[in-house]
Structure 1
Amino acid sequence: MNKRNRYLLIPAALLSIAAISACGTNSSKDADIALRVAYNQWVGSAGLFIADSKGYFKDAGIDVKLIEFASPTEATQALLSDNVDIALTTLDTAVMVKSNEASKNLKVFSLTDLSSGADGIVADKDIKTIADLKGKTVAATIGAVNHFLLDHALKQAGLSESDVKLSNVAPEQTGPLFMSGKVDAAVTWEPYLSQSMAKGGNLLFSTKEAPDLIIDGMVASENLIQDHGSEIRKLVDAIDKGTQFYYSDTDEAATIVGEKLDASKDDVKSMMDGVKLIPQSEVKLKMTDGLSSLEQHAQDFSSFFLDKKLIKNDIKAPDLFDNFLYQ
């Protein structure tokens, strides 16, 4: 199991179609509802998988139906068309959706995990620093979050995209392309980072140095938050219980997650080396005292997408978040 599906983009035209489509709505205030939660196969959703497997949702008195999609993109499209109520997605996806959706007023209301070393830039052994990338060929995916990571690292080194030769390839091809010797460097993720370094590559930059740069959370419509805030709170608490279980009984937890991802227990543990599941005690800090930092990351994504002509409208980052759970 790798991470390639997290790097897919959302075509604006599809968002426009999805935004005006409405079927199977589940946002009325009537009594109990079954919360339909969209997810894709990503190890950072471990808390969700464990909560479902261990019966934590049932214990909390809520009915939760997990619906799998191929990527955060597809999960979000299902949210826009009312086929699900909540989507686990990446912050960059949420920003792009917010820019294009017209009526749902989608909100990021909680966080689940962040990349803490699972994504990075690897280069030939003779390339020692990001500054050394000047004039070199770097594999990335234009408009994807790996492209954003490259842009961030270059700026920190006083360079820009024009200082490198960008080889635009599909996200899952960047690491293998580097290992085949066809490019000087690549922006990729685990397991490709470790595989590349095992072959003599240098890790120039990773999300360990920018841990809030690639972050995942939960998104819902403003109406669902207003009408079913208590159920959402129970959902988040149950997922948090799953997160805590991962760190308290990692062997059993990794087995549960592996069953969901079609991966071995050891593979799950390896994938988790560069991922941090965020307990709600830390989410609260990020969504209150640290909210301005999250908003800045969201605004940076928006500016990046706008500059690359992937979106037509810049977002107002404060409108993207709703921290009602942490008031």
Structure 2
Amino acid sequence: MPDQPVRPGSLIKVFSLLLAAALVASAIYLIMKKTPVYKPAPEVDELKSKGTESENVPIGSVFKPYEYNPAERLPAVDGAGNYRWDHEKIVRFSYNLWPGWLPVIAANRGARATRDSVFYGKYGFQVEMVLMDDPIAALDAFADGEIHTLWGTVDMMVLLAPRLLKDSRSAPRIVQQINWSSGGHGIVVRRPIKSIVDLKNKTIVAPRDSPGEYYLMTLLLSAGMRPSDVKLEYTTTAFEAAAAFLMDRKIDACVSWAPDMYRIPRKVSGARILSSTKDTDRLIADVYAVRADFVRDHPDIAKGLVAGIFEGMELLKQNPELPAKWMADAFGMKPDEILALRSDVHPTDLAENVQFFLNSSHPANLEQAWKNASNIYRRMGRIRATISFDQVVDFRFLQQLQQEVTLDH
């Protein structure tokens, strides 16, 4: 049969398919590679000279601010506020057993509401820190208006947002990043597991819908594995996951975070930490969200909360021992244990928050973190559709604080 001439239309189709395949492959690589390029990149000359600090700043970073007003994209809040509030003006701030909340403890001078805090002294309200290690309990309390803020990580907020957005009043407004996990989340394994690929067909216990599970899924996908390649057993909290690993020798690996992650190898012969977020680069971002109706009704308090926590970061640098004692009292731990956990988190100051929330060109900003988590959880079947990050992110207070710092200098 004589050779058939190649039609231009066929070439275009082939080229289009090849291009699409290349784009998909590139996207998967960026999302799943083991050490994502997650580094804060503030404009050092601009921000550091204004009294803020930052680390790991790429030379030649370009700051390209988002050019929209969050108020124009965030869902409008309908109806009267539906949250607990009275004349004492006490913000109920939820948090979990995690050393990253030390700056809030420092600013508040402990976990209890007090007029000796930075929040009351400078901004006229008090903060009661409510320890809620169970994320579902925290979610329910937030939805019911029993607490004003919801602790979590960006990947957790991807999962929680769909439920909370059903009521415009409880819609989450992510206003501040507290820290990056830099060793505090990890995977503990028994012998003879030596690598991520060795987890294939192994039984792993993990807190469901947690940053630990997100970390595990990222590592599995990075190693060319699928979630179905491992046998997952779920718990509600990291503490329960650690307890299950200790009690059942049939469980090969445990996903947990500090401090439980460090206690397991001391109690189980041959157990060790296979991998932690110290091995990755800016993967898990700890944030908190404020109820939308509360932000609408009390924007000054929301702003004061953000500003006060930044001041807590500075107080923590100056005198870490006292906040460590306050957190130890709240957690039932020793102050020295809390101090030892500080290296597991990297607090994010105003400069780094500006990059995370406001710099649209930063490779490790909130938008990219949101998309990465959405892609993984959609692939796992946890979410049906992706909610755009601008439906939950409110960076107005960071903008205002940045402008005030500029004016002060």
| TM score, norm. by length of structure 2 | 0.65
CA distance in 2, matches of 1:257, 1:192: 16
2:92 partner letter: V
1:162 partner letter: S
- Which residue in 2 is equivalent to 1:13? none
SS at match of 1:83: coil
Comparing 108-117 with 121-130, greater Cα deviation is found at 121-130
- Which residue in 2 is equivalent to 1:183? 251
Contact 2:175 2:306 in 1 (8 A): no
- Which residue in 1 is equivalent to 2:61? none
Contact 2:179 2:285 in 1 (8 A): yes
Unmatched tracts of structure 1, length 5 or more: 1-18
TM-aligned CA distance change 1:21 to 1:52, over 3 Å: same
Displacement of 1:109 in angstroms is 0.9
- Which residue in 2 is equivalent to 1:16? none
Comparing 113-122 with 193-202, greater Cα deviation is found at 193-202
1:240 partner letter: F
Displacement of 1:197 in angstroms is 3.9
- CA offset digits 1:287-312 (Å, max 9, x no partner): 12248632232233334444555445
Contact 1:299 1:315 in 2 (8 A): no
Contact 1:95 1:320 in 2 (8 A): no
Rg larger in structure? 2
TM-aligned CA distance change 1:67 to 1:173, over 3 Å: closer
Is 1:120 aligned to 2:152, yes or no? no
Unmatched tracts of structure 2, length 5 or more: 1-77, 110-115, 400-409
- Which residue in 2 is equivalent to 1:6? none
Contact 1:49 1:257 in 2 (8 A): yes
SS at match of 1:182: coil
Q: CA RMSD in A?
A: 3.1
Comparing 32-41 with 258-267, greater Cα deviation is found at 32-41
Of 91, 115, 124, the match for 1:62: 124
The number of residue pairs the alignment matches comes to 305
TM-aligned CA distance change 1:83 to 1:125, over 3 Å: closer
- Which residue in 2 is equivalent to 1:49? 105
- Which residue in 1 is equivalent to 2:352? 282
Structure 1 runs of 4+ with >6 Å offset: 19-22
Of 234, 243, 253, the match for 2:323: 253
- Which residue in 2 is equivalent to 1:302? 374
Is 1:317 aligned to 2:389, yes or no? yes
- CA offset digits 1:265-324 (Å, max 9, x no partner): 112113333223322232222112248632232233334444555445431123221111
CA distance in 1, matches of 2:324, 2:172: 32
Of 209, 212, 228, the match for 1:146: 212
- Which residue in 2 is equivalent to 1:218? 288
Displacement of 1:253 in angstroms is 2.0
Is 1:207 aligned to 2:280, yes or no? no
Q: Among the aligned pairs, what percent are the same residue? A: 22
| TM score, norm. by length of structure 1 | 0.79
Displacement of 1:251 in angstroms is 1.4
- CA offset digits 1:44-77 (Å, max 9, x no partner): 2222222122521122132123151524443443
Displacement of 1:156 in angstroms is 1.0
CA distance in 1, matches of 2:80, 2:149: 16
SS at match of 1:273: helix
Is 1:90 aligned to 2:153, yes or no? yes
